[in-house]
């Protein structure tokens, strides 16, 4: 999951569909719409886990404190059980 979120979309040589657009948010101002974009970008990047059968569902929620960081809470339901991950995104 970390690799899918941290790799810029299209930059991984072995799989051009692996990655996310979260790196684009580093230049965005700390506005409410950035939270929506971050959730969408994370959901899109993790869709490959569902498509490959490694996860049953992926739910992404966000928390924005307007301090330059956006916190994503990602709940993944896999055949082995449910796990929760936390990922931080830097914004201006």
Per-residue pLDDT of the chain (92 residues; tens, 9 = 90+): 899 999 999 999 999 999 999 999 988 888 889 999 999 999 999 999 999 999 999 999 999 888 889 999 999 999 999 999 999 998 88
Cα torsion 31, 76, 18, 68 to 10°: value is 20
What are residue 63's DSSP bridge partners? 71
Rounded to whole angstroms, the Cα distance separating 55 from 38 reads: 20
Instruction: Provide the domain limits for residue 42.
Output: 2-90
CATH number of the domain where residue 83 is located = 3.10.450.40
Rounded to whole angstroms, the Cα distance separating 25 from 43 reads: 15
pTM: 0.90
- Give the count of domains, the chain: 1
């Amino acid at each position: 999951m970390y690799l899918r979120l941290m790799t810029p979309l299209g930059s991984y040589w072995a799989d051009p569909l692996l990655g996310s657009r979260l790196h684009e948010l580093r230049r965005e101002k700390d506005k409410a719409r950035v939270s929506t974009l971050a959730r969408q970008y994370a959901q899109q990047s993790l869709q490959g886990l569902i498509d490959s059968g490694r996860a049953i569902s992926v739910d992404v929620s966000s928390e924005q404190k307007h301090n330059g960081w956006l916190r994503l809470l990602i709940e993944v339901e896999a055949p082995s059980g449910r796990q929760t991950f936390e990922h931080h995104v830097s914004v201006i």
